[in-house]
Structures are given as C-alpha cells and as structure tokens.
Structure 1
Amino acid sequence: MSRKPLVGITPDINDIAAPETEYVVRRNYADAVLYAGGIPVILPFGADVNAYLERIDGLLVTGGMFDIDPQLYRQTARKPYIMKPERTAFEKALIEGARAKNIPVLGICNGMQLLAVCLGGELIQDIPSEIEGAFEHKPAQSATITQHDVEIVSHSRHLSLSSGTTYVVNSVHHQSVLSSEGYDVLAVSPDSVVEALEAVDGGFAVGVQWHPEYGASQIDMAVWSGFLTAAQQYSSRAR
C-alpha cells in the first residue's frame, strides 16, 4: 500500500503580541488536502527550511490579507501596504528550496503571487487603479460564493484542464500577476487578469488566484487532484 504524501502548509500569524502570538490557518486548507488524499502538516516559521523540505512531499503556500514587498519584484510601492516580511521570507525560501528539489508547489492567491515572484515575475500592485475596465476581484462577500469567470488559455503539464473551457470561481484579491518568461499563463478572467500560472520547466509548480480550498468551483478538484498526484509521485520517487 502506497504511503500518503505529506503536504506542508504555510500558516499566517496573528497580531497578538508575543508570547501570545498564534499561528493561524483556515481549516479548509487542511481539509482539502485530506479530502484529496494527502496528510497536511503546518510549517511554523523557521530559518532552516531544509529540515521541512527533507520530509514533505508537497508544499502548499496559502493566501493571506497582506501584500508582498514590491522591492522583491523590482518595483517601488505606489501606496502604503500591509506587509509581513517574516512570513514572505520564510515562504520564499520554501518555494525556492522546493523548486530546487522538484517538490510540488501549489500557491493560492498571495501564494500564487509569491510563486510568480520566485519565478522572476512582477505584480500589478492594485487592479482597480492599474487595469482599465477591471471588475471587482475583492467583493464584499464570502469566498464560498463564486464571483467571475476564468478561461483556460493554454495547456497545463500537470493539471487535467482543456483549453477554451470556462469556469466560475471565487475571488479575494486586489493584486495580480504580470506575464513572464518563467511561467505559462494557464487561465485569465474576462478583464485580462491572470488567474492561474504554471512554471515553464521543472516539477509541479502551479499558482491559482482564486481559493480552491472552498470547493466553490468545478475547477477546484482538478487543482487538488493534480497537486496531490504530483506529491504522491514525488513521495514514491524520494523513498
């Protein structure tokens, strides 16, 4: 019987002062991994990411209500942003280390944006002010409710998706990814916002801008299935 893959999940931290600071991560991230056939483990922030990378079979970089420092993608901040440098540095080191070892990486929302940065891409810092005619990508509604269409625009090496297919997804973001040579754009919304990407080479490295952990869209299971299949394959090769 094959061993279930171990998936490391990056948490956030709340703003309670030490020593009461807590790691926080929504349950549905872990539940989605469990449902798709993996074993989720939360990865506390630490300098030695190699200790994690030696044990996990997949890396899930979660979303969060904060922004990546624009200096990391060769830009200057155009307005004040809430940033979490400790978390971003930790996740960046994990992504880069996982890529070096061909450990599958799935980035969700902010996690997709950081994956893009690690692959050499840049970000649109604020969709409403930088994309003319863009619709609302951060609506005042629960992420259990779908918000807009995304169209699959290119073939994926790892996800079972058909080009030209359209899905309705949820949306909770105000920034987005620019095209780059380091990754293929897999999906876009009707207002041209990049909604999914995949590294052009190496192992599984996929980012989605929506939140598949809610299971609100028909595309979500394809994301989890592709990720866990890759993690299972990595586990089988590594051990």
Structure 2
Amino acid sequence: MNMLHLPRIGITPDINDLPVPETEYVVRQNYADAISKAGGLPFLLPYHEPVGDYLDVIDGLLVTGGLFDIDPALYRQTSRKDYAMKPARTNFERALIEGALSRAIPVVGICNGMQLLAVCLGGELVQDISTEIDGALEHKPDQSASIAHHRIEISGTSRHLQTSAGEVHEVNSVHHQSVLPSDAYQVLAVSPDGVVEALEKKDGGFAVGVQWHPEYGVADIDTIIFETFLSKAREYSQKK
C-alpha cells in the first residue's frame, strides 16, 4: 500500500426539507476543512443502501450534528412532546455507525452524531435538558458556535485521546438534548451541570462522541480530537 495515501473520511450530510427534485444534501464546509487540516481526505456520503458499499472504501466515519432529534423509540423511551425528526438520515447514519463499529472503522460523532453513537451502543438520551435537568446551563445559546460558551471537565480516562482527568476546556454548545450515563460506554467529559459532553466506546476500535462542535476549532481539545481520529484512520487504512 502507498504510505502517502490520505485516509478517506466519510462525512454524513444533512438533507433539507424541499421536495424532489429540489432536495439538497447540506453540510458545513468546516467539517471537511477540519478533516483536511488533520491529514485526511473528506468524502460526502449521500444516503445510500447498502451502507457496506461505503464501509468498504472509507477509513473513518464522521457523523455530523444537525438541528433535529432522534426518535425516542430507538432508545426505549416514549416522546414527551413533538420532535422534529429525520428518519431517513437517522436510519442511514445508524446503519453506518453499526457497520463501522463491527468493522472497527474509527468513528467520531459530533453533537447529534454523539447522541446517535450512544444510542447505537445501547445508551439513552435526555430528551430536553431545560425541562429534565434542574439547574442546567443553557446549552443552546443565541450566539455563534465559533464562540466558547461553557467549560467542560475531563472526567474519565480515554483509551485513545491524550487527555487527563481534571483538565478543563472552554467549548461551544448547540444542543437541547444530551446523553445519559450508561454502562454501555465510558463518559469522558461533563459540563458543570453534569451534562455528558464526551464519551468513548469501552473496547475495540476508536469510537468517540463529543457534544460540542470541534470543527469550529474553539478549544485546544478540538485539535486533539481530529488529529487522533485521523491517526486511527491512517492505522486502519494501512491494515487493509
């Protein structure tokens, strides 16, 4: 294999609400830019079955965030109010995550992507932070994600990320749901109100979720996440 080959990173896009033939796949440029900066080759993954066609060629999977919610039935809860859901996207990303985990393809889930990673691993979600967590911070502020909003503290030891328990980072925040602690994964970071901000698969390959948006490069830990992800993707690629 050519050692100069850049790891191929599949990036999941959102989809707008316009009817066919005006329907568009949409993804922010900074997701792709973060992958390129860390040494990878980004690819957009249009919704397609079977997902194995993608898993055969990518070396890493980036599941992006989105302004919608995961169906509570997928994590053994009933909806407490009406949610904006995108079943086609969720079903596609869920199949990709499960397939990537089974093949030990490195995975990073961001915001909604972290929540879906947790669900795929067997966890559950807080459906609405403001009504379910007493004294919670505002996790979806009216400000740009390019601005740090609250701190997180590293609370667990990662198998892959070079972080230490007790470290504090200032990160951005754009979400109203969050992940519940679970034996299904290792909690890596929390915000001052106890909201889970990062998790990691307990065994096997690299699978990390972060609740904030590291593609904006607001915090030092953002660089660590992407560089570690690409390092693991490079290792996976070289083993093919």
Distance 1:117 1:234 in 2: 24
State the match for 1:107 in structure 2.
109
Structure 2: 5+ residue stretches without partners: none
Paired residue secondary structure (1:163)? coil
**Identity across the alignment (%):** 66
Q: Report the TM-score, using the length of structure 1 for normalisation.
A: 0.99
State the match for 2:178 in structure 1.
176
Distance 1:224 1:30 in 2: 11
State the match for 1:157 in structure 2.
159
> Alpha-carbon deviation of 1:236?
0.5
State the match for 2:133 in structure 1.
131
Within the candidate set 113, 121, 125, 1:119 is matched to 121
1:198 and 2:200 are equivalent in the alignment: yes
State the match for 1:222 in structure 2.
224
State the match for 1:30 in structure 2.
32
Q: Report the TM-score, using the length of structure 2 for normalisation.
A: 0.98
RMSD: 0.6
Number of paired residues?
238
Query: Residues 150-180 of structure 1, C-alpha deviation per residue, up to 9 Å, x if partnerless?
Result: 0001111111111110000000000000011
Query: Residues 199-238 of structure 1, C-alpha deviation per residue, up to 9 Å, x if partnerless?
Result: 0111000000000000011110011011111100000111
State the match for 1:66 in structure 2.
68
Query: Residues 73-123 of structure 1, C-alpha deviation per residue, up to 9 Å, x if partnerless?
Result: 000000100000000000000000000000000000000000000000000
> Alpha-carbon deviation of 1:60?
0.2
Ranges of 4+ aligned residues in structure 1 off by more than 6 Å: none
- Corresponding letter in the other structure for 2:47: F
State the match for 2:83 in structure 1.
81
Distance 1:73 1:57 in 2: 28
1:11 and 2:13 are equivalent in the alignment: yes
